């Protein structure tokens, strides 16, 4: 019985030892897991701490940037307010000066009218003096037989050349128009165009009924610089006509060009001292300028930015001024008898018609659609009449060659 009890006790003891070892092993595993967990937690805490520090540093940097940006914006706003204040001062000065210029312009118009009245009085006095001198001369001859030749030598009234002054007025008008466009950055209302009272060259009317008399009205005694040439019908063609191609080639050999005050070119035919304006080139210049102005007008209508509108209007004025300079050059040279207009087209293209175009170019503003339409209509009418006159072309070319080669 004692052996059986020992045999039973030994397996129990073994089992207890195994259980004890298993408990120790389990405890070691648990301890290892806890140590690993604590290490990982420590690492995560360290990583989180570093990440937190990085975020705080980045935030501080962004806050410094925002503070710097706020300072920059505040400085820019202060500078902007200062510039606005300066612009307002300049604008107020512009308004004041414009009012002064308008007042001086109106005063100039009044003075020119007075010049006209004085010259009319001079003319009336001259006529009365001439009439009285005629009576005295007749009376002396009839009563005493004295021939008073001295009475025939009557001093001519003084002539005033107002070209330069009127040209200055025209320039003032242009400056006012440009200035008004720059201040308003838009179209200039008809009622606010202070320069509308100014006229250029001959017979021009401004807005509101105020009008500067033309040179021929102001200076009655001043001879017309270039009288309209009557239309000269072409003479009978010779029985054996020169071929049109040969005539055109001969004329082309005489063709010359010169710049028109830096704006385009003027074409003319020259042989020896004879110079004839090429009328077709004038209308080509008009067509080119009008086409470009139409393009700019369309662009202007599609533009909403006031700044862009201002620059487009300025370009329109430049094209208009270029064409005006070309016609002014032609008129001045023809008035000085340096150049001539062809007799064949004298009924259409003459000093009077050129002056009409120049007047519109000087007084009208192409950024105003109505004024631009009025010019294009007048130019188209003159163009149609001109090309009707030179058709058939052969007769025109032969007449032109005959005139340029005439002694």
pLDDT digits (tens, 9 = 90+) for 1-21: 555 555 555 667 778 888 888
The pLDDT > 70 percentage for the chain reads: 70
d(CA 262, CA 325): 9
Using alpha carbons, list the distances in angstroms from residue 391 to 142, 235, 250, 344.
62, 15, 19, 11
CA atoms within 13 A on the CB side of 242: 15
Nearest to 337 by CA among 356, 355, 351: 351
Residues 340, 177: contact at Cβ < 8 Å?
no
Strand order of the β-sheet with 255-259 is 255-259, 265-271, 274-277
User: Given pLDDT bands bounded at 50, 70 and 90, which one contains residue 350?
Assistant: very high
Question: Measuring CA to CA, which residue among 296, 93, 314, 302 is closest to residue 182?
Answer: 314
**Centroid of chain to Cα 79:** 32
C-alpha to C-alpha distance for 271 and 106, rounded to whole angstroms:
48
Nearest to 403 by CA among 283, 275, 279: 275
Looking at mean pLDDT, say which of 31-35, 244-248, 379-383 comes out highest. 379-383
DSSP labels, 273-332: TEEEE-HHHHHHHHHHHHHHHHHHHHHHHT---HHHHHHHHHHHHHHHHHHHHHHHHHHH
- 358-396 pLDDT, tens digit each: 998 888 888 888 889 999 999 999 999 999 999 888 899
Residue 144 confidence (pLDDT): 63
Highest mean pLDDT: which range of 111-125, 184-198, 388-402: 388-402
Give the model's confidence band at 188: pLDDT under 50 very low, under 70 low, under 90 confident, else very high. very low
Residue 215 has pLDDT above 90, yes or no: no
pLDDT at 246 over 70: yes
The whole-angstrom separation of Cα 58 and Cα 64 is 10
CA gyration radius, the chain: 47
Distance, in Å, from the CA atom of 167 to the CA atom of 162, rounded to the nearest integer, reads 8
Q: Go through the chain and tell me how many residues it has.
A: 407
Mean pLDDT of 316-339: 89
CB 210 within 8 Å of CB 198:
no
To the nearest whole number, what is the mean pLDDT of the chain? Answer: 75
pLDDT (0 to 100) of residue 368: 86
Q: How far is the C-alpha of 177 from the C-alpha of 189, rounded, in Å?
A: 10
CA dihedral 390, 403, 328, 226 (to 10 degrees): -110
Average pLDDT over residues 77-98: 85
pLDDT digits (tens, 9 = 90+) for 131-166: 777 767 676 666 666 655 544 444 544 444 455 555
Ranges assigned E (strand) in 260-345: 265-271, 274-277
pLDDT of residue 9: 58
Q: What is the structure's pLDDT at 147?
A: 59
Residue 48, phi then psi, degrees to nearest 5: -65, -40
The secondary structure of residue 366, as a DSSP letter, is T
Q: For position 171, what pLDDT does the model report?
A: 62
**CA–CA distances in Å: residue 347 to residues 86, 227, 230, 323, 344:** 58, 12, 6, 22, 8
Q: In the chain, how long is the greatest CA-to-CA distance? A: 207
Query: What is the token pair recorded at 224?
Result: 């017309």
pLDDT digits (tens, 9 = 90+) for 277-326: 999 999 999 999 999 999 998 988 888 888 888 888 888 888 998 899 88
Q: How confident is the model at residue 102 (pLDDT cuts 50, 70, 90)?
A: confident
Report helix, strand or coil for 338. coil
Residue 363 token pair: 């007084």
In this prediction, residues 39-58 reach a mean pLDDT of 87
CB 390 within 8 A of CB 345: yes
pLDDT band at 169 (very low <50, low <70, confident <90, very high): low
């Amino acid at each position: 019985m004692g052996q059986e009890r020992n045999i039973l006790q030994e397996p129990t003891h073994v089992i207890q030892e195994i259980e004890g070892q298993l408990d120790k092993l389990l405890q070691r595993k648990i301890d290892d897991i806890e140590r690993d967990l604590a290490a990982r937690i420590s690492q995560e805490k360290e990583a989180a701490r570093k990440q937190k520090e990085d975020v705080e540093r980045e935030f501080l940097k962004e806050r410094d940037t925002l503070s710097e940006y706020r300072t920059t914006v505040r400085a820019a706003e202060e500078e902007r307010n200062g510039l606005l204040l300066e612009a307002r001062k300049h604008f107020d000065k512009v308004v004041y000066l414009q009012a002064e210029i308008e007042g001086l312009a109106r005063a100039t118009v009044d003075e020119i009218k007075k010049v006209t009245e004085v010259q009319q009085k001079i003319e009336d006095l001259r006529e009365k003096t001439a009439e009285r001198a005629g009576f005295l001369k007749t009376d002396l001859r009839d009563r005493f037989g004295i021939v008073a030749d001295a009475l025939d030598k009557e001093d001519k009234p003084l002539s005033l050349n107002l070209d330069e002054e009127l040209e200055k007025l025209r320039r003032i008008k242009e400056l006012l128009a440009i200035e008004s466009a720059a201040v308003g950055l838009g179209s200039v209302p008809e009622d606010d165009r202070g320069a509308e009272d100014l006229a250029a060259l001959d017979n021009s009317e401004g807005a509101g009924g105020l009008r500067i008399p033309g040179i021929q009205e102001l200076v009655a005694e001043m001879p017309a610089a270039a009288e309209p040439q009557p239309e000269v019908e072409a003479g009978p063609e010779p029985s054996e006509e020169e071929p049109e191609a040969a005539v055109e080639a001969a004329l082309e050999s005489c063709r010359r060009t010169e710049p028109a005050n830096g704006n385009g070119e003027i074409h003319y035919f020259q042989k020896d001292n004879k110079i004839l304006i090429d009328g077709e080139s004038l209308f080509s210049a008009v067509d080119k300028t009008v086409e470009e102005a139409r393009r700019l007008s369309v662009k202007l209508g599609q533009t909403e930015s006031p700044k862009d509108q201002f620059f487009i209007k300025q370009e329109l004025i430049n094209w208009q001024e270029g064409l005006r300079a070309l016609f002014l050059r032609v008129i001045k040279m023809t008035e000085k008898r340096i150049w001539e207009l062809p007799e064949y087209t004298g009924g259409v293209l003459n000093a009077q018609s050129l002056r009409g175009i120049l007047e519109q170019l000087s007084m009208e503003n192409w950024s105003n659609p109505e004024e631009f339409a009025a010019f294009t209509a007048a130019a188209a009418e003159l163009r149609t009449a001109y090309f009707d006159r030179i058709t058939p072309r052969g007769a025109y070319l032969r007449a032109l060659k005959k005139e340029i080669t005439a002694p």
